[in-house]
Amino acid sequence: MEFGLIGEKLCHSFSPEIHRALGNDRYELKELSPDALPAFLAEKAFRGINVTIPYKETVLPFLDEIDSAARAIGAVNTVVNRGGRLVGYNTDFAGMTALFRHAGIDPAGKKVLIAGSGGTSKTAAAVARHLGAAAVYRVSRTGVDGLLTYEEAKRRHGDGAIWINATPCGMFPRAGISPVSPADYPALTGVIDPVYNPLSTRLVLEARERGVPAEGGLYMLVAQAAKAAELFSGAPLPPDTAERVWRSLLKQKENAVLVGMPGSGKSTLGALLARRLNRPFFDADEVLTQKAGRTPAQIIREKGEAAFRDLEEEVLRELSAETGCVIATGGGAVLRRENVLNLKGNGKIIFLDRSPDALPTTPSRPLSDDREKLLALYETRLPLYRAAADATVPCVQDVEENLKRIMEKWNV
């Protein structure tokens, strides 16, 4: 391996794509068990590597030289082989600093709380202090080594202004969980979460629900990769490189999620949009039908709406883990907050707003099989669609015009 990333579990890493965008198509992934790490480092058969969980501290004794900033932090995420001497750096520092600025979150003069006790936690503490934080407290489940427990943090520092997640909590495949609840910190003014898969963790989404600026880790990943690429090559990159690569990668990974009333055209327009974008397409109701062996209408008639909604939630959770696809949801997907949060984890939600006068009634949709039911359903769900949507597309009868409008919202 000439260039690459080492770690214990890497199957969902975006790093090769980022380094290809940065001009390095020789970047690989190499999963290593703890037992295999010493031999790999001793062999020195690489020019430059990035290091991720759980080896950012483990690699330190194997290095011939450690950059002063990395030594002060106590963690390394980039190793360069300079003529047989392994030199360690911490580009996470530059990446997280860039993430703070990109998110518009300023820790200067504020109390910062950091979830986690590992290398990323140490980097986060160094960045917060560098940016002028008034106080920095690291938090872990056990509270060992002088750290606070989560209960102590909530009890003694409920006035914390900024939370940084430096744990894998909320990372795929354990998305949908959070190390802390933003509701417990009424003075919160910002949340930073280096996790990038999903693109927005539950912590980030719950903070945004409360109007708190929050951002996931994709920009940090790109910014630290750009710094590592400069160390690998010994040459600087253009100043706008990280922003350009981030925008491209975000649009590539983000799902287009269509919500709206039954009959609003989600399935038809979703399939057309997927073809136009050259992406996989998933119709949530079709996936559910295949999974259950029953259509939504059959499940509702046989087992009731609650049973159908439970199964729908399970299907949407699975689909939400996908990236770079188009998802057409069932009309009632927005009825459960959990569905909306799951879909927003990797997706941009687009509400197809068709006038109720133009919506069809059909026996295959038992919740809207007559005009009176449909109008009542529309009045109930309209505020939910609007609240969930990142963008709204007023739909007309012309399919091509609707597709054009969706594409315009998608490209914003």
Backbone φ/ψ region at 354: left (φ over 0), alpha (ψ -120 to 50), beta: beta
State the Cα–Cα distance between residues 326 and 255, nearest whole angstrom.
6
Backbone phi and psi for residue 370, each to the nearest 5 degrees, phi listed first: -145, 165
State the Cα–Cα distance between residues 132 and 109, nearest whole angstrom.
6
Backbone φ/ψ region at 239: left (φ over 0), alpha (ψ -120 to 50), beta: alpha
Show the CA angle centred on residue 305, arms to residues 304 and 309, nearest 5°.
130
Show the CA angle centred on residue 169, arms to residues 187 and 136, nearest 5°.
40
State the Cα–Cα distance between residues 218 and 250, nearest whole angstrom.
8
Contact assessment for residue 388 and residue 340, using Cβ atoms and an 8 Å cutoff: yes
- Please report which residue ranges of 347-396 form alpha helices under DSSP H: 371-388
> Token pair of 230, please?
């400069």
Among the listed residues 118, 130, 3, the one whose alpha carbon sits nearest the alpha carbon of residue 54:
118
State the Cα–Cα distance between residues 263 and 378, nearest whole angstrom.
12
State the Cα–Cα distance between residues 41 and 55, nearest whole angstrom.
12
Contact assessment for residue 261 and residue 331, using Cβ atoms and an 8 Å cutoff: yes
Among the listed residues 252, 263, 279, 288, the one whose alpha carbon sits nearest the alpha carbon of residue 352:
263
Considering just the CA atoms, what is the radius of gyration of the chain in Å?
24
| Amino acid sitting at position 41 | L
Q: Exactly one of 44, 56, 227, 344 is catalytic; name it.
A: 56
Total H helices, total E strands in the chain: 16, 16
Residue 56 falls in the annotated catalytic set? yes
CA distances from 46 to 26, 32, 75, 151, 179 (A): 11, 14, 20, 44, 36
Question: Is the alpha carbon torsion for 283, 284, 290, 293 positive or negative?
Answer: negative
Q: Tell me the catalytic residues.
A: 56
